[in-house]
Structure formats: structure tokens, C-alpha cells
């Protein structure tokens, strides 16, 4: 029996404002379905083999083996990398073991000079929230199915966490 895999390769082109090639890249990257971010002064994504793929401004490609599963999900800022592979959430290199589940792409929030990372287990309908050092925020996980957002309350030092509760409903939690 022969297996056939649908492998997609990306031709990466970095263009200038006029649509002309600005950086020549002579390689193709096997798609992991993760976007490309600006991270640590590189264009960064990942491939299906579980490698972190970084492209510098000269077109050099650096592949760093991370051992992520083929369905891993990434989220980044210019200085912060968060990944989820199977049930391991990694925040800035700090692994956090979660119960096995079907997780959404992590989200990074920068609020009041602090980083918060959220991820939702769709099957268990639980929203997890962590600080940038991988510590869970007290009172979590909470009920929710997706669509997490965090806002700072103007009247006090609390935060509001908005989460989708069903196909047409939302719950707003107050975090002190």
C-alpha cells in the first residue's frame, strides 16, 4: 500500500514597495500552515518537519530543529515565540504541559507592560491563561470555546477577558 501526501512548498519572495524582489531566496519551505512573522530581526515561520525557519535580510535561511509535531501552531511578536505542539505549550523556551486536547493557536497579549498568553482547548471548552514566564494565572482554566481577547479596564487595575461561550454568545470575565 502506498501513501500519498499532499505536500505544499512555499516559494518565498520578499518584495519592496514597488513589487520588485528585494531579497533573493533560493530555497522552498514545506508549508506548516503557520504565518510568517518578524521575530528577532528575521522573517520567521516553521516547516512541516518541526523546524523553526528564519530568513535574514540577506536571504540566508536558518533551520532550527524544534521537534514540533506536523500540526504545531505558532504565535510571535518581535521578541517572543510561543508554540503549541501536541499538548506542550512553550512560552519563550519554557515548556508547559497541558492536558491532551484540540488546542487553538496561542494568542499573545501585551497589556500594562506584561505579556499574557492564552490558548483554548476546543474539546474540553477550557481557556488557559499564562504569564510570560509560563506560570498559570490564578483561577484558570475557565469555560470558553474560542475567541479570547483581553482588555485593560480604565477604572481600575483589573483586566477583562472576553471569551466566546457558544456560537452566538460571549462571557466577560474580570481578572483582578
Q: How many CB atoms lie within 10 A of CB 161?
A: 24
User: Distance between CA 104 and CA 127 in Å, rounded?
Assistant: 10
Span 39-73, pLDDT tens digits: 999 999 999 999 999 999 888 999 999 999 999 99
How high is the pLDDT of residue 9? 64
- pLDDT over threshold 70, residue 167: yes
Q: Which of 41, 35, 49 is nearest to 85 (CA)?
A: 49
pLDDT for 158: 86
- Nearest-angstrom CA–CA distance, 171 and 151: 13
4 or 155, which is more confident:
155
- 121: which residues sit within 8 A by CB, 6+ positions away? 98, 99, 101, 102, 103, 128, 141
Q: What is the pLDDT of residues 101-124, one digit of tens each?
A: 999 999 999 998 899 999 999 999
Say yes or no to pLDDT of 4 above 60.
no
**Concatenated DSSP letters of 57-86:** TT--EEEEE----TT-EEEE-SS-EEEEET
Closest Cα to residue 115, out of 71, 65, 169, 79?
79
133 secondary structure, DSSP code: T
User: Strand 88-91 vs strand 159-166: parallel, antiparallel, or unpaired?
Assistant: unpaired
Quick one: what percent of the chain has pLDDT higher than 90?
66
- Cis peptide bond upstream of 123, omega within 30: no
Q: Stretch 144-161: mean pLDDT, rounded?
A: 87
Long-range contacts of 60-66 (CB under 8 A, 24+ apart): 61/25, 61/27, 61/29
For 135, how many CA atoms within 13 A lie in the half-sphere containing its CB? 6
Query: What percent of the chain shows pLDDT beyond 70?
Result: 94
Asked whether the predicted pLDDT for residue 8 surpasses 70, the reply is no
Output the pLDDT for position 6: 46
Mean pLDDT of the chain: 89
Amino acid at each position: 500500500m502506498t501513501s500519498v501526501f499532499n505536500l505544499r512548498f512555499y516559494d518565498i519572495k520578499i518584495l519592496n514597495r514597488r513589487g520588485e524582489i528585494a531579497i533573493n531566496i533560493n530555497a522552498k519551505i514545506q508549508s506548516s500552515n503557520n504565518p510568517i512573522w518578524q521575530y528577532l530581526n528575521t522573517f520567521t515561520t516553521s516547516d512541516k518537519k518541526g523546524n523553526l525557519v528564519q530568513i535574514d535580510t540577506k536571504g540566508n535561511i536558518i533551520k532550527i530543529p524544534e521537534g514540533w509535531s506536523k500540526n504545531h501552531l505558532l504565535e510571535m511578536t518581535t521578541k517572543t515565540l510561543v508554540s503549541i505542539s501536541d499538548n506542550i505549550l512553550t512560552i519563550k523556551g519554557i515548556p508547559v504541559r497541558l492536558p491532551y486536547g484540540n488546542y487553538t493557536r496561542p494568542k499573545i497579549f501585551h497589556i500594562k507592560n506584561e505579556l499574557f498568553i492564552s490558548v483554548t482547548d476546543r474539546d474540553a471548552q477550557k481557556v488557559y491563561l499564562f504569564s510570560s514566564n509560563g506560570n498559570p494565572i490564578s483561577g484558570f482554566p475557565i469555560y470558553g470555546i474560542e475567541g479570547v481577547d483581553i482588555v485593560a479596564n480604565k477604572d481600575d487595575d483589573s483586566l477583562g477577558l472576553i471569551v466566546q461561550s457558544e456560537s452566538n454568545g460571549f462571557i466577560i470575565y474580570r481578572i483582578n
